């Protein structure tokens, strides 16, 4: 955690590396801001520092309309330090409390309601429902600022089931009515036309903390991109996506001057918008605090040359990551890409310009004759897909090794790329083994809790 002196220095310097790591409450105005806010800095006596926007809101501050804290990268403090709390936050961000009750969430987590409430109180100082509602309101605020979507559509896209509940929650959490905020944001939307309706793309800005090693991430994706499913260019990455029953696509263009990506998104059901945006953030690893990560790795491995701003190259879903990992067992990157391409072409759902990744049922019920590979590996694919199709699968790949044909490398690779797990060490990976001399004999365990980034740093040095 940062101390007050570090926060003050970052605030006065408007240091973008600290954007999202804390917010600044100004007692004279009752507003909280990002440390990069362009407003004239307030005097120290009028400033309070908070780890998260939620903490500032609970203290009675409302978000700044100028720097828009809703657009900042997420603070690591959102995620908590306990496994159960971290998983609960991820499920809530994906809409668990919008689609179900608190008791349903507790059942998925395997804990009691009282225990979960205590975890939230100790970790964030609020209840699970208060956390969920505030996150919904911040996402709605982003849509009000950046789009011309009707307010009713924004309410449903943010996870609210009625306009009245949305209005009441927004006034309580943000301090303004949605229509008031929309009027103040009327001139901020690009060209005044960004509604995302009738098949037109919806444009959103997704920020990150610099530095961001875009060339390294771009080249990683380019070397593994599946034709018809993904597209990669000098400054962009995009793909076809599915979330529940919703289908669409996105293209994320890197705009380094703004420390952000301009994301053009087409989605046929706006109710899936919030979890889809959260998933895009994970695929691009926009919430990583690479300065903290690399400071830790540099201290643990003094002789290790690091690529500054390196990000985890995400895959859209754990299921897709698992299939791609199985197809990548004991073959080269090019051979794995060829196998995935043939699977997508044969079993994926066609779109106007390509294919969606196959659903579990399409793989589970197939002989997979299009794949030239051992029968045992095809059986593993069908077994894994059947597990998902029957609703028995766990989205935590660490639990997959109970299935025949899935070993530690496959599960760990899927966890690193399919869930963004930060502390995965791919000990058996060929590229990692070739790069081990770079650690000069130091134990990889010293890289915890950031061994996924250590793995990626070693990959970056491997031809």
From 7, 33, 64, 106, active-site residue: 33
Q: Does the active-site annotation cover 394?
A: no
Q: Which residues pair with 267 in a beta bridge?
A: 248
Close Cβ partners of 458 (under 8 Å, ≥ 6 residues apart): 431, 432, 435, 436, 438, 439
Close Cβ partners of 293 (under 8 Å, ≥ 6 residues apart): 422, 450, 453
Calpha distance 58→53 (Å, rounded): 9
Token pair recorded at residue 238: 């995009």
Token pair recorded at residue 71: 């657009």
Sign of CA dihedral 263, 94, 207, 63: positive
- Give the CA count within 13 Å in the CB-facing half-sphere of 121: 6
Angle at 352 between CA 347 and CA 355, to 5 degrees: 25
- Give the CA count within 13 Å in the CB-facing half-sphere of 265: 30
From 99, 219, 423, 429, active-site residue: 429
Which bin fits 353, alpha (ψ -120 to 50), beta or left (φ > 0)?
alpha
Calpha distance 358→250 (Å, rounded): 18
Q: Does the active-site annotation cover 67?
A: no
Cα–Cα distances in angstroms (integers) from residue 416 to residues 93, 100, 167, 393, 398, in the given order: 19, 28, 39, 18, 10
Q: Which residues pair with 236 in a beta bridge?
A: 253
Active site residues: 33, 429
């Amino acid at each position: 955690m940062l101390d007050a002196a570090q926060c003050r220095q970052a605030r006065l310097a408007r240091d973008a590396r600290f954007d999202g790591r804390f917010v600044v409450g100004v007692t004279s105005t009752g507003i909280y801001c990002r440390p990069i806010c362009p407003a004239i800095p307030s005097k120290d006596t009028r400033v309070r520092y908070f780890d998260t926007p939620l903490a500032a809101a609970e203290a009675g501050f409302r978000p700044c309309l100028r720097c828009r804290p809703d657009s900042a990268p997420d603070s690591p403090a959102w995620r908590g330090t306990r496994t159960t709390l971290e998983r609960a936050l991820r499920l809530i961000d994906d809409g668990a409390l919008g689609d179900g009750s608190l008791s349903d969430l507790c059942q998925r987590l395997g804990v009691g309601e009282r225990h979960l409430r205590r975890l939230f109180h100790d970790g964030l100082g609020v209840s699970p429902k208060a956390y969920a509602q505030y996150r919904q309101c911040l996402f709605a605020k982003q849509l009000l600022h950046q789009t011309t979507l009707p307010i009713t559509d924004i309410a449903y896209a943010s996870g609210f089931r009625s306009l009245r509940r949305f209005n009441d929650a927004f006034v309580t959490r943000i301090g303004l009515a949605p229509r008031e905020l929309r009027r103040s944001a009327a001139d901020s939307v690009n060209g005044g036309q960004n509604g995302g309706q009738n098949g037109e793309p919806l444009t959103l800005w997704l920020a990150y903390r610099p530095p961001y090693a875009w060339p390294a991430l771009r080249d990683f994706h380019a070397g593994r991109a599946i034709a018809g499913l993904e597209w990669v260019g000098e400054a962009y990455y995009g793909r076809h996506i599915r979330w529940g029953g919703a289908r669409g696509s996105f293209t994320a263009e890197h705009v380094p001057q703004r420390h952000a990506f301009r994301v053009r998104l087409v989605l046929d059901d706006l109710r899936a918008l919030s979890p889809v945006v959260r998933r895009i953030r994970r695929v691009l690893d926009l919430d990583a605090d690479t300065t903290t990560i690399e400071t830790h790795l540099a201290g643990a491995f003094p002789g290790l040359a690091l690529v500054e701003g390196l990000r985890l190259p995400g895959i859209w879903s754990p299921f897709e990551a698992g299939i791609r990992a199985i197809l990548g067992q004991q073959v080269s990157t090019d051979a794995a890409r060829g196998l995935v391409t043939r699977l997508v072409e044969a079993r994926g759902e066609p779109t106007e310009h390509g294919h969606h990744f196959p659903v579990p049922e399409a793989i589970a019920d197939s002989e997979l004759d299009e794949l030239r590979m051992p029968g045992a590996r095809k059986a593993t694919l069908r077994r894994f897909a059947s597990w998902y199709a029957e609703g028995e699968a766990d989205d935590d790949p660490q639990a997959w090794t109970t299935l025949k044909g899935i070993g530690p490398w496959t599960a760990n690779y899927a966890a690193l790329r399919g869930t963004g797990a930060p502390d995965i060490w791919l000990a058996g990976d060929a590229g990692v083994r070739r790069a081990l001399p770079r650690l000069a004999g130091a134990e990889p365990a010293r890289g915890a809790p950031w061994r996924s980034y250590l793995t990626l740093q070693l990959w970056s040095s491997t031809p």
